[in-house]
Amino acid sequence: MTTKLALVTGGNGFVGCHVVRALLARGDRVRVLARENADLSALVGLPVEIVRGDLRYFDSVVRAVDGCSEVYHVAADYRLWLTDPAPMYATNVAGTQHIIRAAANAGVSRIVHTSTVGALGIPHGGVGREDTPSSLAEMTGHYKRSKYMAQQAALEAARAGAPVVLVNPSTPIGALDLKPTPTGRIIVDFLNRRMPAYVETGLNIVDVENVARGHLLAAERGRIGEKYILGGENLTLREFLERLAMISGLPAPKMRIPYAVALGYALGAEAFARTVTRRAPRASLTEVRMARKRMFFDSSKARAELGYSPGPIDAALAAAIEFFRSKGTARSAA
């Protein structure tokens, strides 16, 4: 029997490299679409085929999907601060349209589109679900706006007959967060004792390995045109930092920064970044504005329909701490 060949876009990224590992563990062959100069260190030692290409160019996407039976579209331009948003929309929106069109034309059996809970609605003071109303106008920042538009494109393609299932991961943590992600940066700053205070918010935190397994479950059991939240635990930032303190053995910050103060700091930091460093500031306006709303979500639909079963985040937190310390990104335990 011939093993399935699965394409993973963004397979060298944080979530993508765990999807690659889950597919390999299942016995599939895996092809990864990566840009020409992409960092492939998250895939070192894995028996994967690397195809160089760019989502923004349809021809290179067509070559990548050739011969594949499943496509996992995990790749995205994930930045919360940028000077020119055009490349982000080209990758996240046009790139999504390209990969789905190429995969559908090639006759793949399933396309799993990785969206984000950031593209979903949240009722005031409540918990977001797949059917909570949302709109482009409610999206804060270019990343969320581009991901919302990509999600709409994926839903439209499913209605037109493409075999697309959507997953909406919440906030993943764990090993191999190389960049790191904004949440990984919180962990790194905490471990390096660079977080004397915090802005209160709420997050749904999930083990990245659970998110990866959720992708495979969506391909196997998900209904075409449906969205599935792949979440874990709803925690305030204070609760998350206390959990981090318990596992790392370091004290959690006690001081809470008022929202107005954080907004003022972010304004100054962005101005300095734009005029002097041209590098992402330590706090962006988008991040602070996003913190105003608690990002709490309910994964019960994925549990019921996919058999998705996320565990506690403690093991993922421990794995993230060990990874950041082993790479020298964070200080070793004293």
Stronger pLDDT, 214 or 280, i.e. the higher one: 214
Highest mean pLDDT among 137-141, 264-268, 299-303: 299-303
> Taking residues 292-313, what's their average pLDDT?
93
pLDDT value for 116:
96
Give the model's confidence band at 20: pLDDT under 50 very low, under 70 low, under 90 confident, else very high. very high
3-class state of residue 275 by DSSP: helix
pLDDT value for 84:
86
294 burial type by CB count under 10 A (0-12 exposed, 13-18 middle, 19+ buried): buried
Conformation bin of residue 225: beta by default, left when phi > 0, alpha when psi is -120 to 50: left
The residue behind tokens 């034309």 is 105
Domain boundaries along the sequence of the chain: 5-173+207-232+297-310
Task: Give bridge partners of residue 29 from the DSSP assignment.
Answer: 5
> Taking residues 190-202, what's their average pLDDT?
86
Stronger pLDDT, 260 or 109, i.e. the higher one: 109
The answer to whether 28 and 91 are in contact (CB under 8 A) is no
Between CA 154 and CA 61 the distance in angstroms is 16
Question: Looking at this protein, which amino acid is placed at residue 138?
Answer: E
pLDDT value for 270:
54
Token readout for 287 is 């991040």
The answer to whether 55 and 33 are in contact (CB under 8 A) is yes
Stronger pLDDT, 280 or 310, i.e. the higher one: 310
Stronger pLDDT, 225 or 125, i.e. the higher one: 225
3-class state of residue 222 by DSSP: coil
On the question of pLDDT at 136 being above 70, the answer is yes
The residue behind tokens 């005031």 is 124
Q: Where are the beta strands (DSSP E) in the chain?
A: 5-9, 29-34, 49-52, 70-73, 110-114, 164-169, 171-173, 197-198, 202-207, 227-230, 233-236, 255-256
3-class state of residue 9 by DSSP: strand
On the question of pLDDT at 327 being above 80, the answer is yes
On the question of pLDDT at 154 being above 70, the answer is yes
Q: What contacts 310, CB < 8 A, 6 or more positions away?
A: 206, 207, 210, 214, 230, 231, 232, 299
Instruction: For the full predicted model, state whether its pTM sits above 0.85.
Output: yes
pLDDT value for 3:
82
Between CA 194 and CA 199 the distance in angstroms is 14
Its sign, for the CA torsion 319, 320, 322, 326, is positive
CATH number of 5-173+207-232+297-310: 3.40.50.720
Give the model's confidence band at 334: pLDDT under 50 very low, under 70 low, under 90 confident, else very high. low
Question: If you average pLDDT over every residue of the chain, what do you get?
Answer: 90
